[in-house]
Amino acid sequence: MRPKSPRVITDAEAAHVARRFPSYRDLVDDALFHPAWGYYSTGQVRFGEGGHFDTFPIALAPLFGQMVSAYAFRRWRALGEPAAFEICELGAGNGQLCLDVLVAANERAVRRGDAWLRFAEALRYRIIERSPALIARQRQQLGPLAARVTWTRGDLTKRAARGAPFASHGVVFANEVLDCLAHHKVVPGANGQPGVVFVVPQLRGRAIPHADLAAVLSDDRRRRHVTYEEVIVPVERVPGLRPFLRRHYPEFFAPGKFAPYFACPAIEPLLRNTARLYDTADALWIDYGHLRAFHLTTAERQRVFAGPPRSGATIYRDPGHDDITFMVDFSVVGTAAEQAGLAVEFYGGQGELARRSGVRLDARARELIVRYRTLGWMLAVIGVGPERAWQHTGLTWNKAAGRGGRVRDDVRRGIEEFLGRRRTTFKLMILRRAAAAG
């Protein structure tokens, strides 16, 4: 369902709403990560083609893993071949990238020896994950290679990782992590000041307090009857939101109207805590997003997404069963990175990863991706692999176009989009932390 425009309420009502009901941001976070009914926490997510969404580490497997492995190898060489070097993945999905990185490092060590062999001996892989259900799926995907991975359970938007810094040198990789952070919805409020949207869920006309919402949305018989009303509350009711907006969007406090803006204060602690993971490290962030001008002028439906790709659904269609993502404000990311002591080494098309890693995405690479995907689907058909429970239909790899098109065409389009030869909103931001002098 698509709710009406947010309703303006009195100060007294705002105080009541802020105490008893979730903000837009809190509802989204619960819909994704609540232990009882969240999309990721309960294992609702389906990775890969034919699933809820596809990501480049899966769509371009195993080449994407080869790129990350080669990038890390080059950084390790540039840093003087330290004895210990970590690749740290934030939010590893179903573990496909980790698998491909470790396999690529092993294969090159065997085939090339010398420096690659020394790199493979120095390499450790770490996954920082918030969802226990995804950790279980990652272990299943990795099989025996799970013994080479260290899992750190945590949420870097809330606190620093326990035991950090993990090593002197590393590479941090985060693919589509920023887009699934819950955002506040900021709109013009009373007296020319910005307001923040709170949500009042209702079941058959009766308001459901935040404390009771999990019980209702965990019940399939009741959840389908829940409706949602958006109301506007002063930003002061959300600790830290007003100073965040002052830092990044002071124009919201000037007289006049502005389009709804999706604010993510969690980006700042996330970047600070990422900077603490290693003494010296590159952090590679790949996500769909734009700079500030886009976020000030573009329609809401082009900045927040729910459900399957291109479904046009809102966050209220089926919370807990739908993925919810946001276009990333890379202006905020860059500023937060610099405040955390990280230098912006690169911002632009994600194809820069291929260039910096030296991995060619040519015809041979395309055929390898096709064979890899074919094997994955054959294993799924016979009941092997972490996605076997749902992978019954999808793209076909034969010459005749099947449901969804031919795999070769899909792979070709994916490579062209990754390299920027097709229109894409995906960006790569490389942040660098250098060791402190002295």
Does 47 reside within a domain? no
Q: Can you give the pLDDT at residue 402?
A: 43
Exposure on the CB side of residue 78, measured as CA atoms within 13 A: 15
End-to-end CA distance of the chain: 58
Shared domain check, 153 and 94: yes
Shared domain check, 337 and 243: no
Judge whether residue 113 has pLDDT over 90: no
Shared domain check, 273 and 231: no
Does 326 reside within a domain? yes
Per the structure, the complete domain to which residue 289 belongs is given by: 56-181+267-358+423-433
Shared domain check, 250 and 126: no
Does 383 reside within a domain? yes
Nearest-angstrom CA–CA distance, 438 and 436? 6
Q: What does the angle CA 119 – CA 371 – CA 174 come to, to the nearest 5 degrees?
A: 45
Does 394 reside within a domain? yes
3-state secondary structure 51-95: CCECCHHHHCCCHHHHHHHHHHHHHHHHCCCCCCEEEEEECCCCC
Does 399 reside within a domain? yes
Tens digit of each residue's pLDDT (9 = 90 or more) over 144-201: 999 999 999 999 999 999 999 999 999 999 999 999 999 999 999 988 899 999 999 9
Tens digit of each residue's pLDDT (9 = 90 or more) over 241-277: 999 999 999 999 998 899 999 999 999 999 999 999 9
What's the one-letter identity of residue 302?
A: Q
The sign one gets for the Cα dihedral 260, 156, 424, 373 is negative
Tens digit of each residue's pLDDT (9 = 90 or more) over 122-132: 999 999 999 89
Judge whether residue 47 has pLDDT over 60: no
As a whole-number percent, the residues of the chain with pLDDT over 90 amount to: 81
Does 51 reside within a domain? no
pTM for this predicted structure: 0.91
Shared domain check, 410 and 371: yes
As a whole-number percent, the residues of the chain with pLDDT over 70 amount to: 89
Shared domain check, 245 and 108: no
| Cα Rg, the chain, nearest whole Å | 22
Judge whether residue 90 has pLDDT over 60: yes
How many domains is the chain partitioned into structurally? 3
Does 412 reside within a domain? yes
Shared domain check, 292 and 410: no
Does 2 reside within a domain? no
Say if strands 426-433 and 278-290 run parallel, antiparallel, or are unpaired: antiparallel
Q: Can you give the pLDDT at residue 385?
A: 57
Q: What is the mean pLDDT of the chain?
A: 91
pLDDT class for 42, splitting at 50, 70, 90? confident
Shared domain check, 174 and 223: no
Residue 271's CATH number: 3.40.50.12710
Residue 145 CB neighbours (<10 A): 17
CA distances from 309 to 49, 51, 52, 111, 425 (A): 11, 10, 7, 40, 14
